[in-house]
Structure 1
Amino acid sequence: MEFNGILNIDKPEGITSHTAVSRVRRLLGVKKAGHSGTLDPLATGVLPIMVGTAVKVSDWLTGHNKGYLAGIRLGIETDSEDITGKVIAAYNGTLPSFDDFKRAAESFVGKVQQIPPMYSAIKKDGRKLVDLARKGVTIERSPREIEIYSINAIQDGTELFLEVACSKGTYIRTLCADIGKCLGCGAVMSSLRRTKVGNFTAAASIPLDTLLNMSTEDIHGLIMPAESIFSDMEIVTLPPFFERLFKNGAPVFVHKLGRSDIIEGVLYRIYGSEGFFALGEAAVIDGLDAIKVKKFF
């Protein structure tokens, strides 16, 4: 039985994303497998795992927007910006009110510059920042533009949470720390659950432990086709002649397909006699609207 597609896994706390992928790879007996973006051991939630030929869509899946539910603790700062790190500062004053916390959090909505944390998988001169951080080394990092689409501040008894929708590359630990700096009291991330990656949601995910106890036949029925991550793109179906041309790398002129609704710069799902096989990008070539190859799958 072949396994090619995407499994929407709910990663448990206490293991790395790499460990989760390794367990799925061994379970299914596949050579190729990968994930859509690292979740720290502290974090739980949505971890789409691509197996078999679906690893080809990894670059596209990691670029999807994400959703998180994060616990945040005011009044302390750590070297890792989360609760697992070494405390480097503690605030002795009166902590801000919930309303002040809410206003500070909401001020981060929009496009903002964020400095990646030292405790991250980003590489500098071939070395991961986290490896340097564990040796006590801190280096200068350039800020990166991210976008926070929405933040909902939540109070549950004495605990505070942030419900965040954001772009790829956003570090929620750093967001918590930055909110703490904005309030003047410091803050760390105390918990993290990823609730969404693109169209993959926590509600539809499968706990990793549950998956490991399922039969391969049942697992096969849970695997989603790789093309499912492109469900928001329109379909262009090529007749056999143009399919052959396209598969050889040649652009296809839109007027020959009888289409007048193709928009320059937009990506399309390309289908042929055996279904989905590529992404195409609309472009103007020699003054005519055409679709050129973007990526084969």
Structure 2
Amino acid sequence: MLEPVPDGLLLADKPAGISSHRAVAIARRVLGTRKIGHAGTLDPMATGLLILGVGPSTRLLTHLVGLDKRYTATMRLGIATDSDDADGAIVDSIGMPPDGMDADALEQAMAALRGPIDQVPSTVSAISVDGKRAYQRVRAGETVVLPPRPVTIRRFEALGAREHTVSTPTGGAVRACDVDVVVECTSGTYVRALARDVGRALGVGGHLVALRRMDVGPFSVDDAVDIDDDAAVQEALIRPTDAARALFPVIELGSDDARDLSDGKRVAVTAADDDGPVAAVDGGTDRLVGLVAVRGGRLRVLTNFPPPSRVGGSA
């Protein structure tokens, strides 16, 4: 019996303790296909929205990685780690001053990081340095200096704070302050670097102890499924047409034009020029034919999407 090839976007709620690569491996097992990728890595410590592309919809992932994102997070001030998060080794444990957190000073430090900034990524990261990951060089004992990158922090707001005593690996104790925050930012932002930089500005050090990705563009973790729930994963694929409608402007085509576009022809339309992506949809079947640009009244394919196919299977 022929079975449909899985095709669509999967919104997964990644739990703490597994890598994004492991989440992909779980989805491959459940959906029975190796053609799965993800848009935007989450560190093992982090939880929340991980968008997976399945089958032909992996072609959408290129257009997802650059979307803005929203996170909730907890910064621990008073202690710095080599990775800027809780998975790293403590490199400084100054602790909070005796009179505790100065709310005005915290707001000033956070305000300095809002808007367009040049952010130095965390050294223990997956950024490639001369063909090798930065974290691999650090673990090999190399000194790594990463250049700053332009990012935009659209929102960086403290939601609450609490001070408490933290035990250190050497048996000591440090007074720390955990600050819950919300961050809305452009792609490529390191939220743990924000915690690091706030701690540095306050002179006490800082790192991230919790991170949850809430939104990627129009997609929300509220609509995500538990990656370990096999039944939910099997039922949760978002059709490529529905995903494209959420992401891009749409041009609906008649069946003849849809077929011609699939065959690589430049279809004529009455639409304003648009460098795209614009979703070209077969109005009769509601199938995503391709992502296109509009130039001089004709469509030029940026990414094509083949008609649904089937694979052999057992009844």
- Kindly provide the amino acid, as one letter, of the partner of residue 148 in structure 2: P
Give the one of 270, 277, 280 matched to 2:280. Answer: 270
The equivalent residue for 1:279 is 291
Superposed CA deviations along residues 1-34 of structure 1, whole A, max 9, x for unmatched, are: 4321111111111111111110111122112111
The answer to whether residue 127 in structure 2 is matched with residue 122 in structure 1 is yes
The alpha carbon displacement at 1:153 in A equals: 0.8
The equivalent residue for 2:145 is 140
Change (3 A) 1:110 1:227: farther
Contact 1:264 1:289 in 2 (8 A): no
Give the whole-Å Cα distance in 1 for the aligned partners of 2:203 and 2:161.
22
The equivalent residue for 2:83 is 80
The equivalent residue for 2:19 is 16
The equivalent residue for 1:102 is 107
Superposed CA deviations along residues 136-194 of structure 1, whole A, max 9, x for unmatched, are: 22222221111111112121443311100111111111111112122222211111111
Superposed CA deviations along residues 242-294 of structure 1, whole A, max 9, x for unmatched, are: 4344334443343xxxx35x2443431102354211111123xxxx4433222
SS of the counterpart of 1:265? strand
Contact 1:98 1:155 in 2 (8 A): no
Give the whole-Å Cα distance in 2 for the aligned partners of 1:264 and 1:233.
11
The equivalent residue for 2:59 is 56
Question: Which of 236-245 and 81-90 deviates more?
Answer: 236-245
* Gapped regions of structure 1 (runs ≥ 5): none
Give the whole-Å Cα distance in 2 for the aligned partners of 1:227 and 1:107.
41
Contact 2:72 2:181 in 1 (8 A): yes
Change (3 A) 1:198 1:85: same
Contact 2:261 2:289 in 1 (8 A): no
The answer to whether residue 252 in structure 2 is matched with residue 237 in structure 1 is yes
The alpha carbon displacement at 1:122 in A equals: 1.4
Give the whole-Å Cα distance in 2 for the aligned partners of 1:227 and 1:152.
35
- Normalising to structure 1: TM-score of the pair? 0.87
The answer to whether residue 236 in structure 2 is matched with residue 222 in structure 1 is yes
- Kindly provide the amino acid, as one letter, of the partner of residue 45 in structure 2: L
* Gapped regions of structure 2 (runs ≥ 5): 164-177, 306-315
Contact 2:69 2:217 in 1 (8 A): yes
The alpha carbon displacement at 1:241 in A equals: 4.3
SS of the counterpart of 1:203? helix
| Count of aligned positions | 283
Question: Which of 28-37 and 272-281 deviates more?
Answer: 272-281
- Kindly provide the amino acid, as one letter, of the partner of residue 134 in structure 1: R
- Kindly provide the amino acid, as one letter, of the partner of residue 109 in structure 1: R
Counting only pairs closer than 5 Å after superposition, residues 28-47 of structure 1 correspond to structure 2 as 28-47=31-50
% identical aligned pairs? 31
Contact 2:226 2:233 in 1 (8 A): no
The equivalent residue for 1:247 is 262
SS of the counterpart of 1:252? coil
Give the whole-Å Cα distance in 1 for the aligned partners of 2:112 and 2:131.
35
CA-atom RMSD, angstroms?
Answer: 2.0
The answer to whether residue 172 in structure 2 is matched with residue 162 in structure 1 is no
